Structure 1
Amino acid sequence: MKKIPILSLMVALLAFTTSCREEFLQTEPTETVSNPSAQFKLNGLYLLMVNTETGGTTGHDDFGQKAYDIYKDLLSSDMVLAGVNYGWYSNIANYSDPVDFTRNTNYIPWRYYYRLIYAANDVIEGLGGNDAQLTSTKDKAAMGQAKAIRAHSYFNLVQMYTPKYDPSAKSIPIYKMPTPESGARAAQSEVYAFMIEDLTNAISLLDGFARPNKGTIDKNVAKGMLAYVYAAQGDYAKVVTVAGELVNGGLPITTAGAATGGFNSLSAPSWMWGFDVTLDNSLDLISWWGQTDVFTYSYAWAGDPKAIDENLFNAIRADDIRRNQFITVVEFDEVKSVVLDATGNPVLENGVPIKSITKYPKGYVIESAFFDPTDPNRNEYMKVSFADISYSAVPGGKFYDPKKIVGGQRVIETDYLYMRSDEFHMLYAEALAKTGQTALAKTAYKNFLSNRLTDTSYVDGLSDAALKADIYTNTRIEFWGEGKSYFAMKRNMASVTRGANHLFFVGQSFSYDDNRLYLKIPQAEVIANPNL
């Protein structure tokens, strides 16, 4: 009998879990794998999270979970689209797409997350349904993963498609089983209650489960998801409990060295959940790395860079290692690019400066985030005019391919990050501060910041209000580019003022619940679903 490679089976499974129906939400599969196990189906879900075109389009912004992390970072204004040579994401950055339900920006994540929900429902139904009493350890683990994925999908939907947390407001349809029936919009309170139920069940079901790798959801990942749900509701007493269990359970903080280490490997001790990207995944330009990393053959390198908001960068303290996460790209008269370290000296490999394979006739210099190229202390070749600066404050010191060849990585081998333990060290400090436990909050906060700053003593003198504000600012700095700032902005009911390096709305301020800062239920769903 001919052997079928595992990868081929996974592709077939993806077709099984994501086939379309005439209505907008898909139900009936057109291909199947004979009697697939629950875990086999789940492996297909994990693949769906990184595959292209899973939002129903061929766009280069349609590549799974990390695509929508970019959406959220741009909506928060912490991420700057610093060039529009190719146009991807430009209508998010200029806020024109979120107010027009006919645009694909609204359609792609909606379709993607409901595909995940339908596929998770299929796994749950195959295991006996939502209320199944399972005895098999393997089945419990599969059920726990499926419920966590379902809750994670609903959380992203309810955050991205509503202006703010309002328990009585109508939000999105809930689907609890793989049904072809179109659902009505549920009140937010119903959606949040369902997420909490799913995640509470998942935590119980995953108790004792030893996952094969960090690409698989385990109990701690489900707890992390639950902490986010409680935080979005403003239930910080419960956040203290759940995040505190994670922190006090020994989850490691990303070290100062690792903070500028590339964020490119699932093996990093502080990574809780992600995806081990290999050549077999065939990811290239159409990927998260292809949109953000100047050391990848990417839009970020070729003309659509993603940068940190200048106001946010200026909020990074002088003794903070995270200032080195952001660099400037400068054209000059040399014929090759040269990579510099934070002190402005060339980075050497076998005694030779690392150079670029750039297609441009001029080269590039990689330097600190914002700098004065006319500084007389610069090396002679660094004395260039401001007109030669291509773009500033790109994350080439935070996210990068280990080879560090500008524009070099063609087929993606750097991994995807979904969740890391630092999120819950910071969320724990935030929740303690918001429940009036100021002394404990400062202790937890300083414990984290000691891995970023040389001096954390300033925290001791902060008022309650200043402490909360500082935690929020450092949350934005720490998780820049990871899709988390949008959640923080909403739960803190914050406003943002765009810095000088934005292309659109420079200096203008936006409230977290502005009509332009959340997506609208897409036209395709409105047409297909008479029950909305």
Structure 2
Amino acid sequence: MKIKNIKYIIGLFSIMVSIIACNDIELDPVQQDAVDSNSAIQDLTSATAAVDGMYDLLYRVDYYGRELMVIPEVSADNILVSPSNSGRFISNYTYAITTTNGDVEGLWTNMYKNINAANAIMFFAPNVTSLTTEQLNEILGHAYAIRGMAHFDLVKTYAFPYTTTDASVAPGANGTGGHLGVPLLSTYGQEEDAARATVAEVYAMIISDLTKASSLLPTSAYSASSKFNSTAAKALLSRVYLYKGDYPKAFTTAQSVIADSQYSLTSNANYASDWAGSVSSSEAILQLPAFQNDHNGFDALASIYVPDGDDGNKGYGDLIPTTDILALYSDNDVRKTWFRDIADVTYNFKFPNSWTNDIPLIRISEMYLTVAEAAANGAGTIEAGQDALNEIILRADPSATPTTSTGQPFLDEVLLERRKELAFEGHRLYDIVRNENDMVRTDLATASTLSELTYPDYRMILPIPQLEIDVNDSINENNTGY
């Protein structure tokens, strides 16, 4: 694979390493320049700084810093582009995506930067003789976790789901990942002309990487849940199993995460305040902490949603919640506090600090919803699924009626509650597509706005960047329709 600007590089940092008893790696993810890893990983300090470099890449605007959190929402039915917008995300909202679109290329490039960074660590760190076995395992555990995450983010964005059977939009689709996914980079320096692997092959490697990460990483949480620990790797693995349609493993893996006493649902009384800049440590399994002196400024996640942040910084306020998502929350639902009316416009203040909001990547509430969805699809027991869903329903609104549904009505309730609880966290379009649902908008920015995509519309996934096709001799055709 020939990807611009990422050959043999890894983000490394010239900052002090803080070593604590259980977790040797405890660095502030401050953005620095990338350097050649060939001569950089020489001891514990440089190895742990290299790990911190991988996490720093997650903050990029063209990754979890904004785009991967926003695009699955603006491309679906939770938000619309405000009439007084700055021109951002219009192509995503209108489904006018081309193979040369900046987001298409930016997401692809940054995800593969993370993968190359992880592969470099796996290649060089074992040669550092001064590392103890425990230190090396922790360093490698982070590399496996990040590589698994990046490959997963790629395959869910640039390929139809594992269970797809319609070969008209995904040639080779057979319900078990037989269609093309994305290139797999499994070794350092492999990026020259890597061909696209099947979705099944990509999932197999993701599952292997996250399983390995969970076995290598410490069990105790990092400060502010800023890095993967063993449980966080399991949490992401449960999401992977859910997307794959392996509901028994999604059920049991999510249950094992819930059983970790380090994490618990925030109470109804504290829920609203916990979104005031950061998610509580008990609720957040993995997040990107905000820093007053190191952020994406106007390109930060919250800035696209709010006109003025609670941190005193301005925002664009470009993307506003649809009337149908607003109508889903009862007056007693604590999540209704996310929304504020300003000058007759309702804005999304789930992330109220426009520049300095923590970005939640995995929350414990998702694990309860995974248990419920897996149970609705035949895993475990329906009673366990109902109990898990009721935890989310009653936490949000203690006066709500607990569910007793079964069958399709229960699955419908789960997916509705998932939409409500995880709104604006980058899940919506993926949830629609993996459940083979149509994307239907009832609240439109203009009369000409595209109101519906019937599954499986080719536009439900992104195209392979044209730049990649132009320079990679092993990729000659794009996704169907592009």
Please give the TM-score of this superposition, normalised by the length of structure 1.
0.74
Give the corresponding residue for 1:94: 94
Q: Is the aligned partner of 1:517 residue 2:460? A: yes
> CA shift at 1:240, angstroms?
0.8
Distance 2:178 2:441 in 1: 31
Give the corresponding residue for 2:169: none
Give the corresponding residue for 2:268: 256
Q: Is the aligned partner of 1:39 residue 2:48? A: yes
Larger Rg: 1
Distance 2:256 2:29 in 1: 35
Distance 2:461 2:204 in 1: 22
> CA shift at 1:291, angstroms?
1.6
Give the corresponding residue for 2:351: 399
Q: Report 1:51-450 matches (<5 A).
A: 51-52=60-61, 62=62, 64-83=64-83, 85-97=85-97, 100-128=98-126, 136-165=133-162, 166=164, 167-179=177-189, 180-208=191-219, 211-250=222-261, 251-261=263-273, 262-296=275-309, 304-330=317-343, 389=344, 391-392=345-346, 394-396=347-349, 398-401=350-353, 412-435=355-378, 437-450=381-394
Distance 2:361 2:29 in 1: 21
Distance 1:497 1:218 in 2: 38
Q: For 2:199, give the aligned amino acid.
A: Q
Give the corresponding residue for 1:49: 58
Contact 1:15–1:30 (CA under 8 A) maintained in structure 2: no
Distance 1:5 1:200 in 2: 30
Distance 1:183 1:75 in 2: 29
Q: Classify the secondary structure of the residue corresponding to 1:285.
A: helix
The verdict on how the C-alpha distance between 1:10 and 1:314 changes in structure 2, with shifts beyond 3 A counting, is: closer
The verdict on how the C-alpha distance between 1:34 and 1:240 changes in structure 2, with shifts beyond 3 A counting, is: closer
The verdict on how the C-alpha distance between 1:215 and 1:194 changes in structure 2, with shifts beyond 3 A counting, is: same
Q: Is the aligned partner of 1:16 residue 2:13? A: no
> CA shift at 1:6, angstroms?
4.5
Contact 1:275–1:415 (CA under 8 A) maintained in structure 2: yes
Q: 1:494 aligns with which of 420, 437, 442?
A: 437
Q: Classify the secondary structure of the residue corresponding to 1:16.
A: strand
Contact 1:239–1:428 (CA under 8 A) maintained in structure 2: yes
Contact 1:69–1:481 (CA under 8 A) maintained in structure 2: yes
Contact 1:87–1:304 (CA under 8 A) maintained in structure 2: no
> CA shift at 1:319, angstroms?
3.4
> CA shift at 1:506, angstroms?
5.1
The verdict on how the C-alpha distance between 1:225 and 1:515 changes in structure 2, with shifts beyond 3 A counting, is: same
> CA shift at 1:64, angstroms?
4.6
Contact 2:305–2:316 (CA under 8 A) maintained in structure 1: no
The verdict on how the C-alpha distance between 1:304 and 1:481 changes in structure 2, with shifts beyond 3 A counting, is: same
Q: Classify the secondary structure of the residue corresponding to 1:257.
A: helix
> CA shift at 1:207, angstroms?
4.6
Query: Aligned-residue CA RMSD in angstroms?
Result: 2.9
The verdict on how the C-alpha distance between 1:155 and 1:63 changes in structure 2, with shifts beyond 3 A counting, is: closer
Q: For 1:75, give the aligned amino acid.
A: S
Contact 1:231–1:239 (CA under 8 A) maintained in structure 2: yes
Please give the TM-score of this superposition, normalised by the length of structure 2.
0.82
Distance 2:457 2:81 in 1: 20
Distance 2:276 2:49 in 1: 28
Distance 1:498 1:183 in 2: 38
The verdict on how the C-alpha distance between 1:14 and 1:224 changes in structure 2, with shifts beyond 3 A counting, is: farther
> CA shift at 1:175, angstroms?
0.5
Q: Classify the secondary structure of the residue corresponding to 1:281.
A: coil
Q: What CA deviation, in whole Å up to 9, does each residue of 1:69-127 have, x standing for no partner?
A: 11121123322222353111111011101xx1122121010001000100011111113
Q: Classify the secondary structure of the residue corresponding to 1:142.
A: helix
> CA shift at 1:304, angstroms?
4.4
Q: 1:470 aligns with which of 413, 416, 436?
A: 413
Q: What CA deviation, in whole Å up to 9, does each residue of 1:273-320 have, x standing for no partner?
A: 11222233143112112222333399x966543222222222333432
> CA shift at 1:481, angstroms?
1.0
Count residues with an aligned counterpart.
Answer: 431
Distance 1:9 1:463 in 2: 46
Q: Classify the secondary structure of the residue corresponding to 2:470.
A: helix
Distance 1:147 1:295 in 2: 39
Distance 1:200 1:87 in 2: 42
> CA shift at 1:148, angstroms?
0.6
> CA shift at 1:270, angstroms?
0.5
